[in-house]
């Protein structure tokens, strides 16, 4: 399925771009860390802690046991500094998944996933399901700021198909 109409040039069936980014504690996390072991649910955020972003983070935390049952690792990627991500995680509560900083250089990984809002300097809220081999199996770009959470049924359906 081509997603150009969603302003995403990556497509289901393509290899997911590699990244190597610090989490909220400064530990480096790479997509390839999970290759051959777990599927990855990659949640991209614009970089500002809005109510929608808090809801998005809580959505993944609240559904963490479902993702774990489906042998999947949730990773949030945010265009904010490490310290901001650490404060977010503390404010929201125990998330149970890493929040990666795509701040230096700003938006480098977000750009690889083609989720930068043109001429605005921030990222889109999006979700990518990446299989154990590193292939993108599902993409959902949330169209508006008020649309805080992905279609969980479709995400679970995709992850179940990977079992």
Domain boundaries, the chain: 4-161
Rg (CA), the chain: 14
Q: What percent of the chain has pLDDT over 70?
A: 89
Contact (CB, 8 A) for 95 and 114: no
Its pTM stands at 0.89
Establish whether 9 is a catalytic residue.
no
Catalytic residue among 9, 53, 115, 149: 53
Residue 43 has pLDDT above 90, yes or no: yes
Greater pLDDT, 159 or 60: 159
Given this model, what pLDDT does residue 5 score? 40
pLDDT at 63 over 50: yes
Element (H, E) at 61: helix 51-62
pLDDT at 123: 81
Average pLDDT, the chain: 87
Architecture field, domain 4-161: 3-Layer(aba) Sandwich (3.40)
């Amino acid at each position: 399925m081509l997603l150009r109409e969603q302003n995403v040039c990556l497509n289901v069936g393509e290899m997911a771009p590699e990244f190597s980014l610090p989490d909220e504690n400064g530990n480096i996390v790479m997509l390839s860390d999970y290759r051959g072991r777990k599927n990855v649910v990659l949640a991209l955020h614009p970089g500002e802690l809005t109510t929608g972003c808090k809801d998005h983070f809580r959505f993944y935390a609240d559904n963490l046991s479902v993702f774990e049952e489906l042998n999947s690792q949730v990773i949030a990627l945010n265009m904010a500094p490490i310290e901001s991500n650490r404060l977010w995680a503390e404010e929201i509560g125990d998330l149970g998944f890493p929040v990666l900083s795509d701040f230096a250089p700003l938006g480098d990984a977000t750009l690889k996933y083609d989720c930068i809002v043109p001429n605005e300097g921030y990222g889109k809220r999006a979700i990518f399901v990446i299989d154990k081999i590193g292939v993108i199996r599902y993409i959902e770009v949330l169209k508006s700021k008020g649309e805080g959470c992905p279609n969980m049924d479709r995400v679970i359906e995709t992850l179940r198909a990977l079992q």
